[in-house]
Amino acid sequence: MWIAMLKEKIKTPMKFFLSKSHNLWGGNINVYKALCTALTNHESSLHKEWCDQISEKDNNSRTGTLLIRDQLTRKYSVNFSKYITEKVDIAQLMIYHRLPIPRRLQLKVQRKDMMYERYIYAEGIVKRYNQLREMIPDVFYNLINFELMKMDKLMIPLLNTIKWSSNGAMNIMHDVMSNFNYSEAFIKTLADLNYILRNEIENIAQYLLIKLPDHPVWPHEFKELNKIYLEDTMKHISDKSIFIEDVFNYVIKLIIYRVNDKYSFKDEESMYNFFNVNRALEDIKDTDG
């Protein structure tokens, strides 16, 4: 390319001098022509070598999968080499200078928008996968390993069979994203329930079983005062305990349903039954445990 640019810059001044008089150059005109011939031959040689290298690397890049996974960290990444963008840019410059390029590279130049679109979408899949893993509450992490296995299973085609040149690559990636929606809804629900559980447990921990009066009182008054206070406190604790139990039961039920590849309860009206205030205020029975 630098040779073509050099010849382009020399061409205009040479035309000017040759238009004046050939005698000004004498034998130097032959040197100029020989230089142009040498540069052209060198350019052809470099171009042929570049085409051979491109063809060899292109065969390797076409067989590459969309994603790869690190064997140590087990993290996914997009298998998109910087070399691909570089060779497309160089190929466009070659076309500008009217130099031939390999046929497969011509196709890449023509379909570069589609290729970059696949790259962006594949990168979005990896980012969303990582975000979903980070959203999982630590307390439920071991309980929902099956969900991570489902997500990893969705990624298998992108690791093994789907190449950059595959016609159905975008359809497969759309399916992966669509299934991630279910995983996201499930994980977000668990995260919300985890927040509710932690908040209620922290509230219970703040209750005191003994109340100190603001002023001196007789022992029997102190005993009577704390008796009333303790009854009220235990009632609040029992109400919150019932609420926490209902939430936790809902969590377990939700996990079981998700294990069976279901995304919601059959009875949608009972999904948020643990918010029932009347249920929380009922007296504790012996059968409640």
pLDDT score at 126: 94
Query: To which residue do tokens 């969303």 refer?
Result: 128
**Other C-beta atoms within 10 Å of 155: how many?**
17
Taking the chain (289 residues) in runs of 10, the rounded mean pLDDT of each run is 66 69 62 73 69 59 75 87 64 66 65 78 93 91 89 90 81 91 91 91 84 81 83 87 90 86 48 51 50
Give the orientation angle of helix 145-160 with respect to helix 219-259, to 10 degrees: 30
Q: Assess contact for 102 and 53: CB atoms under 8 A.
A: no
The answer to whether the pTM exceeds 0.75 is no
Task: Look up residue 95 and give its two tokens.
Answer: 């076309």
Which residue, among 240, 155, 158, has the nearest Cα to 196 in the 3D structure?
240
* CA angle at 25 for the pair 20 and 29, rounded to the nearest 5°: 110
pLDDT score at 86: 64
- 271-288 b/e (C-beta count within 10 Å ≥ 16 → b): eeebeeeeeeeeeeeeee
